[in-house]
Chains A and B, each alone.
Chain A
């Protein structure tokens, strides 16, 4: 079973996404903030990280920056909002 770390500050979105992933047979751990997410990534070694971009304190880019210094796993950024942000992600070669 693949382990997914879900970092999302909106509670409903976080819980719902987790539930959906669990129903699709993923093991899901969640974090409500970037900082907590980074800690959990270090602790639990998830296979996949799904991360919101716009979050208070440490945002999605910050999470990515921190984790890519340590040999991290494949990382997904969730971006609902702006095409500009997506362009920025692609530019840096992230998925």
Chain B
């Protein structure tokens, strides 16, 4: 072909570094240049008049035919590197990736396509390597990320544990501090509660030793009585402490018996009379001979004594303490009323708590145990205790108890 311009044409073909393959409209090869021959592994001239299919891997033949026909109809240029991956077949049957730019042209009334072809196996290999490296990298990133996630998770768990431990430590510290505070208060309370009567006893013994004359028997008797009273008083405090322990462990055994209420009242009033301040008086019912109870007598006495002693302790000289008792078929109600310092509203909700002392009672003797014990006992005996109180006006404590104990 191209007889006239063959020389020029040959120069062009030789100068082009890409492979050049020219095919006619029947896909027969009409011209190739050296780079194209080398690329596909043919000797110079071997490809002429061969169908283009020899350069195309078998599995692409069918597809390529249809594509070629479509391309010939449109006759548009197609630049290199556009479109899908295409492959070439070498003479020895090996397949390699290539890029082809297609340039249709017409000469002497015949249609041709000039294909510029580049072997891109090296590039592809590099691309693949890059892709592989990328994949590797991604994999590593994922791995590292997972490792990091795991570490973070571990750290979080660790952190949570630490926070928990810290909170536990704080809680323990708080408990310790509260306990310490309670201990300090308790010790100060105990030392006050014990030292005052002990000092009384001590001075009584000192005085006893001074009264040596026969006619001083009266004085000696008085101090012996003081000592005996104070020993009883101390014994009662100790009993209170011990019953706290017993109540807490549920170790108390109640011992119900049938007894006359008047007997208990007389006992309580008799003992309370010794504690009266100057001008204080206890009013108590004297017409209760018909009242009797089936209860633990000691507990009833303890509860009433507590209320009466409180009434005396927390009211001033020249005041009255009123005891009132009513009974119906089921219950007995005891009321103890005073006109003393009362309980501040703020402290009323805590008044039955162990060791609690109302603000206005802190400087008076007391352990803060009495009412706590009474309440616990009464609860065990299916009874109740409640009160009304106004600061600086006085208090009214009420105990309700079933006539027949069921314990």
Chain A residues engaging chain B, CB cutoff 8 angstroms:
9-13, 16-17, 19-20, 23, 32, 54-57, 59, 80-82
Contact = CB atoms under 8 A, between A and B. Distances in A.
B196, B226, B361, most chain A CB atoms within 10 A: B196
A59 B99 CA distance: 109
B196 A13 contact: yes
B341 interface: yes
A54 B363 contact: yes
Contacts of B230: 12
B196 A10 contact: yes
A81 B207 contact: no
B188 A80 contact: no
A13 B200 contact: yes
B317 A32 contact: yes
Interface residue range, chain B? 20 to 34
Contacts of B206: 20
A9 B188 CA distance: 18
30 contacts: A10-B196, A10-B197, A10-B365, A12-B226, A12-B229, A13-B199, A16-B203, A16-B207, A16-B223, A16-B226, A17-B203, A19-B203, A19-B207, A20-B203, A20-B206, A20-B207, A23-B207, A32-B277, A32-B278, A32-B317, A54-B192, A55-B363, A56-B361, A57-B363, A80-B192, A80-B195, A80-B196, A80-B199, A81-B192, A81-B195
Nearest to B226: A12
Contacts of A20: 203, 206-207
A17 B226 CA distance: 13
Nearest to A53: B363
A85 to B, nearest CB: 10
B364 interface: yes
Contacts of B363: 54-57, 59
Interface string B198-211: 01100110110010
A19 B207 CA distance: 8
A11 B229 CA distance: 12
B191 interface: yes
A82 B188 CA distance: 8
Nearest to A78: B199
A59 B317 CA distance: 17
Contacts of A54: 192, 363
A20 to B, nearest CB: 6
B361 A12 contact: no
Given A10-B200, A10-B365, A16-B226, 16 more contacts: A9-B364, A10-B196, A11-B277, A12-B226, A13-B200, A16-B200, A16-B207, A19-B207, A20-B206, A32-B277, A32-B278, A32-B317, A56-B341, A56-B360, A56-B361, A56-B364
Interface in B318-348: 341
Contacts of A55: 363
Contacts of B364: 9, 56
The 4 A-B pairs of least Cβ separation, nearest first, read A16-B203, A12-B200, A56-B364, A56-B363
Nearest to B200: A12
A82 B199 CA distance: 15
A92 B175 CA distance: 35
Contacts of A32: 277-278, 317
A57 B340 CA distance: 12
Nearest to A8: B196
Interface in B210-230: 210, 223, 226, 229-230
Interface in B175-204: 188, 191-192, 195-197, 199-200, 203-204
A23 B277 CA distance: 25
A20, A54, A56, A81, most chain B CB atoms within 10 A: A56
Nearest to A14: B200
B400 to A, nearest CB: 30
Contact of B188 (A11, A12, A19, A81): A81
Contacts of A10: 196-197, 200, 365
